Amino acid sequence: MSNYLSLPLARGVLTLFGTKARWAKIGNISLALAALCGGCTIMPASGPQSMDVRMSQAAEPESLPYALVKLEPEVVRILAQYTPRLSTAFANRTPPKAFRFGIGDTVSVTIFESAAGGLFIPAEAGVRPGNFVTIPPQAVDNNGNITVPYAGAIRARDKTPVEIQQAIVAALKNRAIEPQAVVSLVEQRASLISVLGDVRAAGRFPASASGERILDAITRAGGPSTQGYDTWVTLERAGHRASVPFGSLVYEPSNNIYVIPNDTIYLYNQPQTFVAFGAAGTQGQYKFDAWRITLAEAVGKHGGLNDSLADPASIFLYRGETREVAERLGVDCSKFQGPIIPIIYNVNFRDPSGYFMAQSFEIRNKDVIYTSNSSSVETTKFLNYLRTIMATANDPIVYATNAYALKAAIKGGVPAIINPATPVTTP
């Protein structure tokens, strides 16, 4: 058995002393070492390796804990149920009830009697146009009352016109001749709806007795002043607030709920964005340019995956979910503090069905998409690193050997064969 191994090279033949089996063993060890050290921290990278993300339990104690959830049809179904909607944020989605007066509303009262000579119509009425008298308009006072002559203070706050009419008739029936009353609204100041922000004519508008929806109120304010897909709508009601994209009011009619008196609607412009890192086509922050997009559309928007770097099975989406949603996804929330649970969703694009799930998985504002490098890329980096070290150690030996050979040639020895140092190239 020979004790050396000859390898053909571009500039000659490299002779390595030792058996072929020995060098094969060394080669196998080197490959195994490269695979094990593919994720070493000394190697440059744009983010964590897929193995690091999946081994969340082995993270450093000071690291923020997170949960890893594989993207499956059941996960997509659960998340769809928790998409922010006004229809679920507010329990009162029915049309407003009958109009009721409030403090500050201006009221007109007209009282009729069946014959002259009563409390309001004198016997010598002469050429009066009718048997009625109109009381000057008055506002509902801070106590919630209006004043009617001979009837005193009549409760008006939170009362309908019919209820006030009945109260006036009951107070006058023993003094007037078969009295009847008509109560009407002169100016509405209490039951108002405020529409503010990025609209063409912001202001406060009287609530319609017939009932109107959020889009109706926005239309009364002139509509959005900017493109709709970057516009958000916030509804504040009785101290509770919820926000949705303007597009959800148009394309999901269940979100276009009825407004009620004293609601505040605020429109503001805030482009929805997501961030792409790792082995993506291009890294950076991207706008939705739509009121909603899916994960598949987001991956396409940032240029897809880098064919020479990306691991299609290691697409990760970072997002914070509420504790309720995390529990529905099967996450053990006992190790997490606070109402928001950090979750990393993993989608496998090596699986053809992964693209279907990505088409159903909606991206949310400020989501982070990270694509991990393939393990072969990290192995190549490590092998190039070893090659650099070996070349650095070998170059002085080559230079010394060449110097010795050149000296011998000068003294008249055998012709010298000069071996150039091995150049180190990086990918």
> Torsions phi, psi of 255, nearest 5?
-75, -20
**Are 90 and 214 found together in one domain?**
yes
**How many distinct structural domains can be found in the chain?**
3
Q: Residue 327 pLDDT > 50, yes or no? A: yes
Taking the model in full, what pTM does it have?
0.69
The domain of 251 spans: 86-94+191-269
Give the side-chain half-sphere CA count within 13 A for 199: 24
- DSSP 8-class letter at 117: S
At a CB cut-off of 8 Å and minimum separation 6, what does 293 contact?
301, 362, 363
208 located within any domain: yes
Q: Residue 413, SS3?
A: coil
348 located within any domain: yes
- The DSSP code sequence of 325-354 is HHHHTT--GGG--SSEEEEEEEE-SSSTHH
- DSSP 8-class letter at 234: E
Closest among 103, 168, 169, 173 to 138, alpha carbons compared: 103
23 located within any domain: no
Which of 133, 159, 187 terminates a domain? The answer is 187
What per-residue confidence (pLDDT) applies to 13?
Answer: 43
**Are 69 and 165 found together in one domain?**
no
**Are 120 and 69 found together in one domain?**
no
Which of 269, 288, 310 terminates a domain? The answer is 269
Q: Of 24-38, 116-130, 276-290, which one has max mean pLDDT?
A: 276-290
**Are 344 and 264 found together in one domain?**
no
* pLDDT tens digits for range 268-281: 998 999 999 988 88
pLDDT > 90: percent of the chain: 47
Contact 106, 186 (CB under 8 A): yes
**Are 289 and 142 found together in one domain?**
no
406 located within any domain: no
- CATH classification of the domain holding 257: 3.10.560.10
**Are 251 and 276 found together in one domain?**
no
Q: Residue 393 pLDDT > 80, yes or no? A: no
